[in-house]
């Protein structure tokens, strides 16, 4: 995101007008009185369309760089900036990081400005802009999403991002993160930046097969999931093996099952209702290794 979005521009203009008028009259209005005045004034003008739905405040170039750095942008990435303002995130991603960028911006004037600056920077072939509402935009091809939005908009966007983006897609939020979703990483360099990696969905029951030293084993594995945080284990004859160090990173899953006085370390890649990967075991640096596979038999809540 190249600009801060959140409060309707018309409301801010009304608030400023009310405050200035009060000052000229020598009056002191409380914040509540200003809000009431804003509501009355704004209601009278509600029939007029807003030129821009929220105010635009450009991000600094340093903040732009920190967002792209946190996302670990690479030449093969497709970076979508939601509410792209003057286009500096998209242009920087293309010019400095070798990625392809797409800016989604509702203000046609800023879209035209962004396209002109992309041409001037020599990256028009890899930086494009769309005059579109972010909630209506098709973002499925993104591998990186950046945004600088207020919490209310971030929260409204969360279901769209989780349903449309592929597991492993990196999302970087400037200042305002997702309520209830623990970031995979958070940094502060003048401002707060939050990295979220879209996790694959693994909640539910799985049938897992693996050839271990004492023979082929078939497990029924249960996973509960809260975004990238998972817990669960394997049901076996006579008991339950908890999944230790269970974790998700995009479409990658890892966990440890302790059995036969041995820790079996499972790592795999999730693809829909299937997981395939390798399991390692042994003492010391020398490890044995084989493959494992799991199929989902029931979805979780």
Regarding the domain delimited by 1-198, which CATH topology (the fold level of the hierarchy) does it fall under? Rossmann fold (3.40.50)
Tokens 């290794």 locate to 289
Q: Which residue has the tokens 């592929």?
A: 166
What are the tens digits of pLDDT across the range 179-216? 999 999 999 999 999 999 999 999 999 999 999 988 89
Percent of the chain's residues with pLDDT above 70: 81
Q: What is the pLDDT of residues 231-281, one digit of tens each?
A: 999 998 888 999 999 999 999 999 999 998 999 999 999 999 999 999 999
Asked if the model's pLDDT at residue 69 lies above 80, the reply is yes
> 204-299: which CATH architecture?
Beta Barrel (2.40)
Report for 34-43, 50-59, 83-92: range of highest mean pLDDT:
83-92
* pLDDT at residue 55, as a whole number: 63
Q: What is the pLDDT of residue 54?
A: 55
Q: Are 105 and 1 in contact (CB under 8 A)?
A: no
For the chain, which residues make up each domain, given as ranges? 1-198, 204-299
């Amino acid at each position: 995101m190249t600009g801060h979005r959140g409060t309707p521009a018309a409301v801010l203009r009304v608030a400023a007008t009310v405050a200035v008028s009060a000052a000229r009259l020598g009056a002191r209005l409380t914040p509540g009185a200003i809000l009431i005045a804003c509501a009355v004034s704004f209601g009278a003008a509600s029939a007029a369309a807003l030129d821009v739905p929220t105010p635009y405040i450009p991000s600094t170039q340093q903040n732009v760089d920190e967002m792209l750095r946190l996302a670990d942008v690479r030449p093969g990435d497709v970076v979508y900036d939601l509410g792209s303002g003057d286009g500096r995130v998209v242009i920087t991603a293309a010019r400095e990081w070798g990625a392809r960028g797409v800016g989604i911006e509702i203000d046609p004037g800023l879209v035209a400005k962004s396209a002109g600056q992309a041409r001037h920077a020599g990256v028009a072939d890899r930086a494009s802009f769309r005059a579109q509402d972010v909630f209506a935009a098709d973002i499925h091809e993104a591998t990186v999403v950046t945004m600088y939005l207020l919490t209310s908009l971030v929260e409204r966007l969360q279901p769209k991002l989780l349903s449309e983006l592929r597991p492993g897609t990196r999302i970087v939020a400037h200042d305002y993160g997702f309520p209830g979703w623990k970031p995979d990483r958070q940094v502060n360099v003048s401002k707060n930046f939050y990295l979220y990696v879209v996790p694959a969905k693994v909640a539910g029951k799985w049938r897992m097969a693996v050839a271990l030293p004492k023979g082929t084993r078939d497990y029924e594995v249960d996973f509960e999931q809260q975004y990238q945080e998972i817990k669960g284990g394997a049901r076996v004859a006579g008991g339950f093996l908890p999944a230790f160090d269970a974790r998700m990173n995009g479409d990658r899953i890892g966990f440890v099952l302790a059995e036969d006085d041995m820790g079996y370390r499972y790592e795999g890649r999730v693809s829909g209702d299937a997981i395939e990967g390798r399991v390692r075991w042994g003492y010391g640096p020398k490890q044995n290794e084989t493959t494992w596979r799991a199929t989902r038999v029931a979805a979780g809540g």
